[in-house]
């Protein structure tokens, strides 16, 4: 893919997709090892364990998650930023009368050809304890954090064209505060942030299994990327999970009164406010969303392995798509 100038615009979209796929199939080779899948499963199980108590912002469970993620960032080969030598980006933000303090975990991997950053985000906080019940947040969003760590392990061994910033955000459930801190109290200048790939809820793919990718219209270079991901996974997997362009309103949310605004639903919304292109990757709404039943025991980890490979394919395609916008 090095040296391939890519723009997935309308005029030459399908021709360039074929070129990208040929190049990617030669480059990516076999799927990640069984050890990488086992580690991702372990990451979900640990983060969604009773010991971490649902990882509510500014809780003991959150602090346990932070310590775990610092260790995992180091294990995966992520480099700390000079302003956050222990990977910790501490922030304090206000919204109206609410003041929120939190800690994002931030690491980077230098790109082969560009100092601009693809920002991969996954929020690690969840709801904690409410009304005497514990909300462990396995799908939401231990799964996204595990996928982000999986991608970090891959990119550490196979650097992309662009540099990559990996951020486990805090206080997403309270109003996207961690993502807002990334852009309002930045460790990296905003003009170096090329795009955001946001991973939120990746494990409960449903029946039939489906994943969703929103944000294709946020940059001309993303046009056709959903189809490209599906084509690549069809070539690499005997049982791919179909990726649907743009999130769909679930049954029971058809009226305007209770529809989910997916543009505002997760951390990518803050990047959109700053006119930074984004791709939002995840599953649809499901019956265990924001309930005590969102546990690791309810995840099919064989399917989750396919999700991880799909996320890897998506990250490589996004890196390729943005090459002609990069500043070296």
230 — pLDDT class (breaks 50, 70, 90): very high
147: which residues sit within 8 A by CB, 6+ positions away? 40, 122, 199, 202, 307, 308, 311
* Span 163-183, pLDDT tens digits: 999 999 999 999 999 999 999
* Span 46-104, pLDDT tens digits: 999 999 999 999 999 999 999 999 999 999 999 999 999 999 999 999 988 889 999 99
| Mean pLDDT value of segment 270-294 | 96
259 — pLDDT class (breaks 50, 70, 90): low
Helix then strand then coil, % of the chain, to nearest 5: 40, 20, 40
Q: Is the pLDDT of residue 253 over 70?
A: no
Q: For the chain, what is the mean pLDDT?
A: 89
Q: Is the pLDDT of residue 251 over 70?
A: no
262 — pLDDT class (breaks 50, 70, 90): confident
Given this model, what pLDDT does residue 132 score?
93
Phi, psi dihedrals of residue 119, rounded to the nearest 5°: -105, 115
DSSP states along 161-199: SEEEEEEEES-STTTSHHHHHHHHS-SS-GGGEEEEEEE
Given this model, what pLDDT does residue 237 score?
86
Compute the distance between CA of residue 9 and CA of residue 19 in angstroms, rounded to an integer: 14
Q: Is the pLDDT of residue 254 over 80?
A: no
Higher-pLDDT residue of 326, 260: 260
Given this model, what pLDDT does residue 75 score?
97
CATH class in words for 13-325: alpha beta
Least confident of 78-92, 115-129, 247-261: 247-261
15 — pLDDT class (breaks 50, 70, 90): very low
Higher-pLDDT residue of 156, 1: 156
Query: pLDDT over 90 for what percent of the chain?
Result: 78
Compute the distance between CA of residue 90 and CA of residue 50 in angstroms, rounded to an integer: 25
Compute the distance between CA of residue 109 and CA of residue 117 in angstroms, rounded to an integer: 9
* Span 237-249, pLDDT tens digits: 889 999 999 887 6
Given this model, what pLDDT does residue 19 score?
46
Compute the distance between CA of residue 198 and CA of residue 119 in angstroms, rounded to an integer: 8
| Mean pLDDT value of segment 189-207 | 96
Phi, psi dihedrals of residue 267, rounded to the nearest 5°: -60, -25
Given this model, what pLDDT does residue 20 score?
53
Given this model, what pLDDT does residue 73 score?
98
């Amino acid at each position: 893919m090095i040296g391939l100038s890519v723009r997935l615009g309308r005029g030459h979209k399908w021709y360039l997709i074929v070129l990208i796929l040929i190049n990617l199939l030669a480059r990516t080779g076999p799927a990640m090892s069984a050890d990488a899948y086992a580690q991702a499963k372990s990451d979900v199980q640990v983060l969604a364990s009773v010991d971490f108590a649902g990882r509510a912002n500014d809780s003991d469970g959150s602090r346990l998650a932070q310590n775990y993620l610092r260790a995992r960032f180091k294990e995966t080969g992520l480099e700390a930023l000079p302003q956050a030598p222990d990977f910790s980006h501490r922030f304090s933000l206000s919204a109206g009368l609410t003041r929120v303090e939190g800690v994002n975990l931030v690491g980077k991997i230098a790109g082969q050809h560009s100092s601009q950053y693809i920002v991969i985000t996954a929020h690690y906080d969840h709801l904690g304890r409410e009304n005497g019940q514990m909300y462990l947040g396995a799908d939401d969003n231990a799964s996204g954090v595990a996928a982000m760590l999986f991608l970090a392990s891959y990119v550490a061994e196979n650097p992309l064209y662009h540099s990559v910033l990996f951020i486990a955000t805090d206080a997403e459930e309270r109003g996207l505060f961690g993502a807002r801190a990334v852009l309002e109290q930045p460790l990296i200048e905003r003009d170096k942030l090329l795009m955001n790939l946001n991973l939120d809820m990746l494990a409960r793919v449903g029946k039939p299994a489906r994943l969703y990718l929103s944000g294709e219209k946020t940059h001309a270079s993303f046009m056709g990327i959903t189809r490209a991901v599906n084509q690549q996974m069809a070539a690499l997997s005997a049982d791919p999970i179909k990726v649907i362009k743009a999130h769909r309103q679930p049954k029971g949310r058809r009226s305007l009164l209770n529809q989910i605004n997916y543009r505002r639903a997760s951390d990518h919304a803050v990047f959109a406010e700053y006119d930074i292109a984004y791709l939002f990757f995840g599953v649809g709404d499901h019956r265990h969303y924001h309930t005590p039943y969102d546990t690791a025991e309810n995840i099919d980890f064989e399917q989750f392995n396919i999700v991880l490979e799909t996320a890897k394919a998506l990250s490589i395609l996004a890196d390729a798509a943005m090459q002609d916008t990069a500043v070296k």
